[in-house]
Chain A
Amino acid sequence: MEKVIIIRYAEIHLKGKNRGYFERVFAVNLERALKGIRHELHRTSGRYLIAAFDEGRTEEILSKIARVFGVHSYSLGYLTGGELDEIYDACLLVAPRRGTFKVESHRAYKNYPLTSMQISAEIGARLLQAFPLKVDVHSPEHTVYVDVRTAHEALVFCSFEPGPGGMPVDTSGKGLLLLSGGIDSPVAGYMMAKRGMSVELLHFHSYPYTNDGAKEKVKELAALLAAYSISPVLTTINVAHIQEAIHSKCAPELNVTLLRRFMVRLAERVAKRKGAQCLITGESLGQVASQTIEGITSSNAVATLPILRPLIGFDKDEIILHAKKMGTFDISIQPFEDCCTVFLPDFPAIKPKLSFVEEEEGKLDVEALLQEAMESEETFTL
């Protein structure tokens, strides 16, 4: 009998001939998450088992598994031999000591001498003798699971912890996340990583108008996102000169609209170099003046890559809830302005007309400004 962690994966079973590929990437991601902790990873049909692990670090292992995308659920249990007595010994270890319970059995190995019902009945009867328990097959407080895998192997466990779901990261291409330091963008990155996308990070700052505290905050966010398999490499670009040029030459109500078009263009240059196939933003429809459909139209007009906006239909409350769950919320609300208000117009355009935006942008030497900004690029590995 051996203590093991049973990991079940989500959605991969939907894949046909590509399944092997998804499973391999999933295994690599699990190994990466558990790097530095003694363990063995075994694949069995439809499940992964973590065995021979450092039991003193069980909690740490479980919390790392809980953040690997593709994990549908996981359980801490025992791998035993196939004999009923061996299975029962493991059940004794995981079974509740009081309250109501039932035993639920499965047989992947159909030649086992007992049927599932017989296994449940036999184990249940013995447990009833061992502990002051009561059977309740409809809504038990505890369920003891017995899963007979082969003639010589069975899994026994008593809990199902839900994993984050989704697809293994690195199976759905690569995207570049525009990470602002606010509440939304980390959540957007999480959502795309959850769908298996490998996510790279780009942050725009506006030194000297924004301070180092704001940049440190973004680094802190990036470091936290790395726990969700998001790239720990952060690229930053200074857009202060672009803001100054827009401020001095263009209609003030278009300040933000124009700056976003520059950000899209800069992000595309970074994305293409990093091999990213799309941009990801935390925009949510109508949340602020620049996130209207007209605002989105004006930024999309300069994009050649798709811009994914996974939060587009979310309310702020829903996003905040998610950010709290991820642990990014407390960092995001630290009071450093991510975009200092020096250049904010009193009344930003809510419905900027593309023709007007293009006309105003025509007053600027776009390419020169882009090149100047690209020269400010910095990279931090967190």
Chain B
Amino acid sequence: MDLEVVAFLILSGLEVGAAVMTVTAKKLVHNVFWLAVTLITIAGIYLLFLAEFVAWIQIIVYAGAVPVLFLFGIMLTRRKIMEEPHESQ
């Protein structure tokens, strides 16, 4: 079994799982956490494309900045809005 295929299956499985959790988690902060996990595993998949630079830039820009942006935006609202369950998935 080719090591590359195994790595791709594991990473993409993690990514799809994290993406599903992003969309279906109940609390907003959990969504952001799973989004960060998704972005980090995407960086891993970039490594399989032999694109190392893009992979590390993905971690610096995406996993480092975008979830923080989301969290700051979430925390600008008050708790009642944060705790309401989602209506449409």
Q: Do A and B bind each other?
A: no
Q: Name A residues whose Cβ lies closer than 8 Å to a Cβ of B.
A: none
